[in-house]
Amino acid sequence: MSFSPNQYLKADAVEHFRCQQHAARTFVDEQFRLLPKNKFLYHVAFNINWPALNIKNINVQTILTLKDEINLLVKSTDLPAYSVSHDVLNQYNRKRVVQYQHKYNDINMSFHDDNMGLINQLWQAYYKYHYADPTVANTRGAYSKTAMQSASHITAPYGFTGKIAPFFNYITIYQMARHEYVSYKLINPLITGWTGNKLAYSDGGSHHFDFKIAYESVYYDVGYVNSGNMEGFGAVHYDFVPSPLTSSWPQNISPSPSFANTTFGGSSSVATPDVVKTSTTPAGTSNFSTQQQSYASPGVAGVNIPTGSSTSSTTVATQVSLGTTGTTTGTTSTGITPDYTANY
């Protein structure tokens, strides 16, 4: 209940309770358009540069066969982050902020350590591709103590292999909501850190690997959620069997509009302001709104944002009269929008 005087507070002997609809009208109206997205609705796809790899390597053969399962084992991931370099200059004693460079911050990605060791093999294949050490380590005499001998004793390659072709062409992170996605494609990604986490008898949790990934650029895209648009999505272990549960709910409900299409695909029509008229409050009931309200439909310039139907009506909550036994019910148009800030 408001403690600030406004037009909706009346000196009436009959008191009424009513719940406000601020949150519902923000997050529920217009097909949940402004509802915050869930963190767990995501998919990650790894595009590996197969021609550049040695297919005879057993790890690569396994990864080639089970490549779509790698996507399913991503436990968590960051989204791209940026840092802008800038200087604060003095322009005739006025501070002027000037930007001159931006960089892409490394992102952290965590993988489940599966029982088969698929993610472990992914790292081994990557490590062996870019560095000679893990292969040479199994060569007899490669790590003998030869510091006091001539250079002719060093016959094995060590360190970076010098291969320029990337192991990953790109990594795409899909964030999903309302049957649509926003994607972040990391161009020429490199693993700059790999951590195998602590093992302990006293810890009953699952083990995971942590990656740190650097990249050269980011490409953004939007689209509909399906296996054709999202790389590797629904390719394996996806349950396509429909539920046997039925419902008596009407089947002629219109589908959710495509916000990604209307926002980024472009609509030639522009959202125009809606004028909502409220009916006069009947005598003997609380004054909900007695004036004409005018507001503009929320939207993006040049974009037609869908609005709710103005023809349907809904029954409001029963008004309980304090100190009496009588109750009053009524109906109101879904378009009514009281101006709660009129006297603030």
Q: Name 200's Cβ contacts closer than 8 Å, sequence gap at least 6.
A: none
Two tokens, residue 329: 């019910």
Residue at token pair 């002629």: 252
Residue 278's pLDDT is what?
A: 37
Pick from 77, 63, 260, 65: nearest CA to 181: 260
- The amino acid at residue 180 is E
* DSSP structural state of residue 53: S
Two tokens, residue 24: 């519902």
In whole angstroms, what is the distance from residue 250 CA to residue 246 CA? 11
- Check whether 262 has a pLDDT greater than 80: no
In whole angstroms, what is the distance from residue 106 CA to residue 83 CA? 11
- Output phi, psi for 218, to 5 deg: -130, 135
Residue 229's pLDDT is what?
A: 87
Two tokens, residue 331: 């109906």
Residue 218's pLDDT is what?
A: 96
Two tokens, residue 155: 């016959």
- Check whether 149 has a pLDDT greater than 80: no
Which long-range contacts (C-beta less than 8 Å, at least 24 apart) are formed by 153-157?
Answer: 156/132, 157/132
CB atoms within 10 A of CB 185: 21
Go through 162-184 and write b for each residue having 16 or more CB atoms within 10 A of its CB, e for each that does not: eeeebbbbbbbbbbbbbebbbbb
Q: How far from 143 is each of 9, 149, 151, 159, CA to CA, in Å?
A: 85, 13, 14, 13
Residue 337's pLDDT is what?
A: 44
Angle of helix 58-65 relative to helix 118-130, nearest 10 degrees?
130
pLDDT averaged over every residue in the chain: 76
Q: In the chain, what are the domain boundaries? A: 1-33+266-339, 42-85+99-141+150-224
In whole angstroms, what is the distance from residue 151 CA to residue 171 CA? 42
Reported confidence tier of residue 245, pLDDT bands at 50, 70, 90: confident
In whole angstroms, what is the distance from residue 69 CA to residue 59 CA? 14
**Domain 42-85+99-141+150-224, CATH number (from 3.40.50, 2.30.110, 2.40.50, 1.10.357):** 2.30.110
Beta strand pairing status for 107-112 and 208-214?
antiparallel
Residue 306's pLDDT is what?
A: 52
- Output phi, psi for 86, to 5 deg: -150, 160
As to burial, measured by CB atoms within 10 angstroms (0-12 exposed, 13-18 middle, 19+ buried), residue 288 is: middle
pLDDT digits (tens, 9 = 90+) for 199-222: 999 999 999 999 999 999 999 999
Two tokens, residue 123: 């790292």
Pick from 275, 269, 259, 226: nearest CA to 31: 259
Residue 142's pLDDT is what?
A: 75
pLDDT digits (tens, 9 = 90+) for 56-68: 777 888 888 899 9
Reported confidence tier of residue 177, pLDDT bands at 50, 70, 90: very high
Residue 252's pLDDT is what?
A: 56
